[in-house]
A and B are shown apart, each in its own frame.
Chain A
Amino acid sequence: MSYIPHTELDRQQMLAAIGVTTIEDLFDAVPASHRFPKIDIPPALSEYEIAAELKAYAEANDHAGNFAVFRGAGAYHHFVPSAVNHILLRGEFFTAYTPYQPELSQGTLQAVFEYQSMMCGLTGMDAANASHYDGATSLAEAVTVALDVSRFKRSKIVLSHNIHPQYRDVVRTYHQGRQIEIAGDDQPRSMADLAALIDDNTAMVAIQYPNFFGQIEDIKALAEKAHAVGALLVTVVNPVALGMLKSPAELGADIAVGEGQPLGVGLQFGGPYLGFFSIKQEYVRKIAGRIIGETIDSDGRRAYVMTLRPREQDIKRERASSNICTNQGLMALAACVHMSLLGKNGLRQVAELCYHKAHYAAAEIDKLAGYSVDRTLPFFNEFVVKCPVPVEKVNTALLEQGIVGGYDLGTDYPHLVDHMLIAVTETNSKAEIDALVETLGALS
């Protein structure tokens, strides 16, 4: 299979026009000693063979088509209406590039503008960017914004232990070259203990809402303490939970970031996903990445354009606060179409289905001998279960029943060995939940 259209006659005519004899003559500047190495990759396959080979790879996986999925921990199996994929597959969207020429990109620009609007609607914030790579990188970029807001005079970042462990890892990776102190996430802490770490050197305090364990914490006092010393409060939020829960703005957040994957983006083994980033008006000019703004054309018609460009790396170069120069355009479009289809009532309904189904599952599991569900805090659609046997053993038994079980919390939290994190969404039927409970029961 080849996508090169040239015929032998084309090549001859083109070479003659250029004034060389062979294509190889165009590579004189490449050191002769290193020119034209062999690439040791097997010969081309036909399209039919490619499809068959990839089908075999795909079917070697334990996927949601064949398994009931009760695993979340940052990636959730939600229902995606067919219309979302039909829009994504339009070549006018997926084969377009960054909208550098707005007159030819009004479709992408308006869709992203609407996406920004919806993220503002969900989070209660004043502005959102056109998206970052994923939820974890959004949090890392929030750190940069907070440091920048303090004019790099503050260097302490307080992170809750209850933020997704991989997100906290990413914050550390991103800022390893900077002289900053990351505090708070070395052990479980109450909100009061976390608040006690906030001082005049603190640029930012971050929590997750609902937290990594699915729980909804009372952060009022924390928000007050952060604001009292002039630090920013950042929340990492699950957008589906926002279908029913108070918005981050109502909690006092200055920045709300998170993973947009639950909004119409499939599981896809972890990517591409969609980091959303929303913020209060006063910090708009500090956001990294693309922002779409409304304007008019020379005939006075409403139109859209990438704006605040001078902040960006292509203009500011080494003085830019971030090197980010793409967004997750297609994923932002998926989220935009998804939220349009669901609307305010649909998203609320999804949130309520998740909530009630998760609580049904939790109640049934809690009744099982040897198992207990952590009910110390209210939870949304994900909860912690203490198991009577190692989680690995539980999950092996579940797989035999066609169920992908909960996430083994001992992997990231040594004090939670034998604890699993179970996520339930609207895709999990009562029959699936009952099968989960039955298999767990047989192990105790």
Chain B
Amino acid sequence: MSLPPSYAIRNVTARPARSLMTAGVIALVVVACTLFLGLISSLRRTLVSSGEPLNLVVMRKGSDNDGSSQLTLEAYQAIKYLDGIARDADDQPLVSPELVVQPFFRTRDGGRENVLVRGVEPVALQVHREVRIAEGRMFNPSSAEAVVGRGVMGRYEGAALGDELQFGRGRWKVVGVLDSGGSSFESEVWVDVRELANDAKRPFPYSGIRLTAASPDAMAALERRIDDDPRYAIEAQSETAYYAKQAESANALYVLVVGIAVLAGIGAGFGAANTMYAAVQARTAEIGTLRALGFSRGAILWSFQLEAVALAVLGFLLGAAVAVLLTKAIAALVGGVAFGARTFTTNVVTLAVAPGDLAAALVLSLLIGLAGGLGPAWRAARLRPIEALRKA
């Protein structure tokens, strides 16, 4: 014979102060963990772009990102007319030569950060299909115009639509805003590739090349062909693989945060266990009565465990609501959180809680509930009815 679930739930509501206290502790842990996990998932989203499955990144052999790579004009011309590259409506190959530099930008609060500026040709928007102009328009070549990513806009002096941005040696008029669904391109500024090369006085015109292959088979062939070309010492890899490597930089943080979540969870578990033990003590007589009525040990164990889990779920709901509101508040107040990745550039992270983060927090709170409830429930089930009744 088992106890109805409503009995456990009613026990939660019977002592609102104590239940809220326990749920509150769990809620706080959930808030802390959700914030952290949200930070990590936002970071991962921002540090990388998923990449286009048919895109290749071409760089100098040995470079680990396009910020430290250099390519000659000859290499670009040799690659541009290789077989197997997709073409646009005008039958032009989808090859985007790019130059990456990281000049200082002044932040609004007087600091300075290295921001990734990408010199491109108009074809770039066709190669990076995830990037679109959300406001304004694309820059016109050789007219000192720039388009800025969403994350950059408003964070730096002069980085708003219609403003004049100052970086490198020149000034650039902001004519458009880039949107890439939250990926790393939103922390970049795009300008005309030749103007940027002039401004930065680079000995080599390009850092790297992005191109779109016509088919998966053509992509593999292109990759081999470029890697094996002895003239230029360059290598190609798929955009997906390239970004997966860039994302590794968030892994250490991830481990750190999981460790913190576990520690906080154990602490909260102790707090929850405390409350449940007190509940068992206060209800000794009640438990004795239940046992005398014929409810089995298992039924009592189950009911107390259910009570603890109900508390944990309550705590999770409270915490999740607070965490989501808090991230929205932080995002509104702070704007983006800047994060300096390895590559000398600043990524602007907009804090947001992903469903996966909430799921992880839910698992954590359930674990807290189960672990915190187990000891007390066990003790409740093991009480001898005779002694328990004597206390009544």
Report whether chain A binds chain B: no
